[in-house]
Structure 1
């Protein structure tokens, strides 16, 4: 067994880079042993490669690579607690080390991923399929080795756009979000304004309208309690300060005098821009700061991935228009099955499901719509390995929807993908 949690985690991420497959936390040792044997590695070869990638891993954890811009991205990803993307970052570092891409390309790709992570967390978008995406990103054989196209294609379906980001930041209590997202947003905004590095640990998040309202705030702001409840934790009501305790819940007229002398430009701007503080000011500032974040974490040109180019591997829950396309493979829990038709893909998926856990069929049959569609054959019946007769007269999109729904019911969405041509 591997001795420490960090080392086991490193090996797990290392194996994703090398094998392009998911590795369960309790299967790290056996997976590495299989990789070692199947690749015919000597002890010297294995240790040399582990040492090289361990160096990358250390640089990622401590954001201490040789490039300051790359380090900033690494720092932000660490703050967002997004270790699931570490394999891809290690891959990028190795591609730079072996001169397959240059540092600028690595920064651009990592920044697209950073933007996706920030927007997803700000919009509270589920990232449960990110592990599968990272596995796919580490397979350099896809998209003819075009890393940017591969990254955009896999992120395209769930990349929050500008409108969604603005709507979310207008509503979400960013302060109560995990992963220090409120502080991270403010630090990034400040760094972008001043081009100076801010000590993340020293900075404190200040609520301009305080979390505990006193009589003065209730007298000065109409419907103060309602405004605080709805907008108190949103981005527009937050700023950075180093004298948070001193400010407490003083009225805005007093806070404003402190803000004028702040060494944080983000905070000085509040005093310079707003004479009064309430709902309108919070909404206005939220819009302003969101516009800046949109520039810092831009939406990539997804149009680079046009629908006519749809080929390659996709996770089962990734919305794709497959009209006119043919499947060539379905992958279930690392088992790859060649297929020629969508009907065949449906049968293979259900056969695999039965062989791994027959109880899954009970769960499927409890879902009224799936049960009616599958287990009451009338137009194009087909027999599974267990003797069950199912209906197969469905379009490609409906078959994908059925497989996706069953994967959700059985909690195996992150284990299923398919390839089209």
Structure 2
């Protein structure tokens, strides 16, 4: 009996490491990446698109690739294609790597999703998949099903016309963009077929504009276990969106307007924990960019090393004061129930040129003042609700597009 218990104990102990290893290695520390090989993320129904899945961090191992649309698993292959796509196949596509080991299957982290939009209309506005930086040129394309020879292309931002161009060129460029140029864009394309003018409008597409260097935000960490107790850490947070290879960025830290450190590539620094007004500055010399953070108070703000209490300021006159003349105030007049009669000065002078006498107030009640009637302006007609509203843009979606609008 003792031997049997010993044998069972050994079996349990021998399986424990495998159970632990299986739990640890079930997810590999790699992330799959989806690459767009052919086509665009927004296509017409009937067109095709091809995607590829890869594990760039581990090229030596042999991985199998699983494809998903949302949470639904589709197939297992390195490449994924949509042939003769339809509107119902729109969605967010991702992939994941998987390989077999002696302890069981191991999966990578799932890739970031790629959104594919299958449009059943007549026009598509293709915009950059990544944000356009401030100062660059924004390029968009107004695609029309069947690629007819265009006569005119109009670009709108938030339903306001931005640019109009004639000719068959479907590409529209906006140079030197800034943050005001971001928003929802649409395009209207016009072309002629058999002496009939056709016009179609795309569905809205979001355009993103980003700054190369955002305004820094200073974080004060009073107590950091990695530095001495009498020190604190300053961290300068920002977003740097320069294209690779991005030039280096320099950080500076200040207290009460005085520089604490020289230029450094590190966005944090350890300083003595004392009250004051702190700020940071980020500078990219090669791009001639510089941004300041807002000043942040820490503790009781002092001037210098000790807080000084200044005496109240005594205003100094511009000229020596002079003695003010004595003023004789008139005797107060007793109130009367009726309207007061103005006091007549003694020996009042007479003015022969004044022929009208000042009327004296009476006890008769006052009549309220009636407001004057507003004059009726000739030729002004009242507003009516029967106003003609131009027809809105037609939203054409679905697998079978409606016929484009014909302009007689």
TM range (shorter): under 0.3
Q: TM-score, normalized by length of structure 1? A: 0.23
Q: Which has the higher helix share?
A: 1
Q: Which has the higher strand share?
A: 2
Q: TM-score, normalized by length of structure 2? A: 0.24
Q: Which has the higher contact order (CA 8 A, sep 6+)?
A: 1
